[in-house]
Structure 1
């Protein structure tokens, strides 16, 4: 054999003067090969440094034991933890993961999905990007007979397995907390309304205001303020109003809440005494800012575990009539310094 060439079953067969099919059966522990021959083949395989191609073997058996994951941003704590939760559960069953990042680009998301389809993965797990609302590429996954699981950001019109958060209730509790802490003019930094999670969070905000008989003020709702930079830009506009807000709910992420904090600090506005700030997602930095940021924990690792376990539960399900399962996880409000107006956190 040439140096660097991968050893194959044909190399083993040639050395022993037997058929490649006999080598294959022995390596797969078939009872069609006697024990003495098996031992000889295994010994020769070791001598030749033979490495089994697990992927090819699994494909021949009709599955790849590979799950593809598509997320908007790998470097966000929430998505990184979901991936970790999936890996934690799938590793135990010998599955591999292929991780793709859409970068919030619809076109790139389509490319990622098509690549995974061509890789013959058993399942595609996806949280959709904010850019676009055409999901034909996800329908293609279903049409190829590949299990599709959506999490967090989902295309509601597609009947697939879904793992989501109760975004509306979480937002309701966050805004209720702000009101009960004495804040009266509560602004909302909202995300793209083509995504259901951001619509639900806005609904929770509006429901809380109604429950406490507080008027909805349109100028206190800032559209598409869902990054740190856009959060900061929206905050500057809000704090420049003749009647600025005394609290801001950054319903999109802790990154936009960080933008709020930076602007408040630059304008010498005291948080939480003069301005309450609440974020969303419990990013790692939210606990170490000054003040620490009140936020909403989405139990991301648990969500990843749930996604993986849902796949394994449904893998052998042949019921094509029932509506696919949707599992909803209840987030938790974490109260910290940025809303501790009464001295408690």
Structure 2
């Protein structure tokens, strides 16, 4: 026998001159198999290093006990913590995770989704890429009767369970904090406005200015930069204005906020005395930069656990009725005030 070939029940059956169905019944502890025969089959299976094909078995039962997760970037603290939260729950239920990353590319996201559909996963959890606008591939998940759960970045027009943050409220709180510290010309670094999550954060920024009686200044609102280089260039232009901002809310993420800090340091602007900086998502590095960066904690681990528990609640029919499949769960983030906004 080829040592690299996976041992099957047919290999065991041939060796013992039995039928494959007899071997299958014995390995599944069927009572209709003679005990001596069952023990012989079990002993032979162990000697031949037989491993059951769990995927095939689960597919026969109509379940793979596998959940696919698609995120923009695995190496970002927020997404990795969401995955860890999901895994903490799924492990207890005997489920496996298949992790994919889109790298913020629509075509790769579509490829990930198609791969997971072909693997017959029971559920797909996704935070959509920045490039996305056509969500036909996600409708395809629903059409295949696979549970679809969206989190953080979601497609509004799809009726699925959504687990999100109260982004508008958190952003408003962050900007009001900076106003309270005496900052008056607060700039906004937008995230991609095709995504609802970033439109909410912008709305929070605008509402905070309105509440504070501060004007909305178009030149202080900077469109989403798709690369670090473009982001650096945009921040340099912003800080080189004749009347530059005295604070910047990097609403996309903490990496944008770090970019602001790097530019400010390079051109000799003192943070927080001359420039306040606030990010979003509470990446690990924000607490160890100099100065440390004010940010918003999205409770990512809790979000992951909520996603997994909601899926299993639906599976266990604990959520009452099918309309709950389409409900939205909102988790309130927390403003983490650090040195970068404390004058």
Whether the 8 Å CA contact 1:191–1:226 is kept in 2: the answer is no
- Which runs of 5 or more residues in structure 2 are unaligned? none
Following the alignment from structure 1 to structure 2, what is the Cα–Cα distance between the partners of residues 84 and 273? 38
- Which runs of 5 or more residues in structure 1 are unaligned? none
Report the alpha carbon displacement of residue 229 of structure 1 after superposing the two structures with TM.
3.4
Structure-2 residue corresponding to 1:339: 341
The total of aligned residue pairs comes to 341
Following the alignment from structure 1 to structure 2, what is the Cα–Cα distance between the partners of residues 101 and 269? 37
Report the alpha carbon displacement of residue 316 of structure 1 after superposing the two structures with TM.
4.5
Structure-2 residue corresponding to 1:300: 300
Report the alpha carbon displacement of residue 323 of structure 1 after superposing the two structures with TM.
6.0
Structure-2 residue corresponding to 1:70: 70
1:70 aligned counterpart, secondary structure: strand
Structure-2 residue corresponding to 1:29: 29
Structure-2 residue corresponding to 1:50: 50
2:81 aligned counterpart, secondary structure: helix
* Aligned Cα root-mean-square deviation (Å): 1.5
Report the alpha carbon displacement of residue 226 of structure 1 after superposing the two structures with TM.
6.2
Following the alignment from structure 1 to structure 2, what is the Cα–Cα distance between the partners of residues 227 and 292? 23
Report the alpha carbon displacement of residue 320 of structure 1 after superposing the two structures with TM.
4.2
Structure-2 residue corresponding to 1:167: 167
| TM-score, normalization by structure 2 | 0.96
Structure-1 residue corresponding to 2:229: 229
Following the alignment from structure 1 to structure 2, what is the Cα–Cα distance between the partners of residues 34 and 86? 43
Whether the 8 Å CA contact 2:141–2:147 is kept in 1: the answer is yes
Report whether the alignment pairs 1:92 with 2:92: yes
2:24 aligned counterpart, secondary structure: helix
Give matches, 1:102-121, under 5 Å. 102-121=102-121
2:248 aligned counterpart, secondary structure: strand
Following the alignment from structure 2 to structure 1, what is the Cα–Cα distance between the partners of residues 60 and 147? 19
Whether the 8 Å CA contact 1:73–1:79 is kept in 2: the answer is yes
* Moved segments of 4+, more than 4 Å: 316-323
| TM-score, normalization by structure 1 | 0.95
- Cα displacement string for residues 276-311 of structure 1 (whole angstroms, at most 9, x for unaligned residues): 000001111111111010000111111111111111
Whether the 8 Å CA contact 2:170–2:296 is kept in 1: the answer is yes
Structure-1 residue corresponding to 2:180: 180
2:36 aligned counterpart, secondary structure: helix
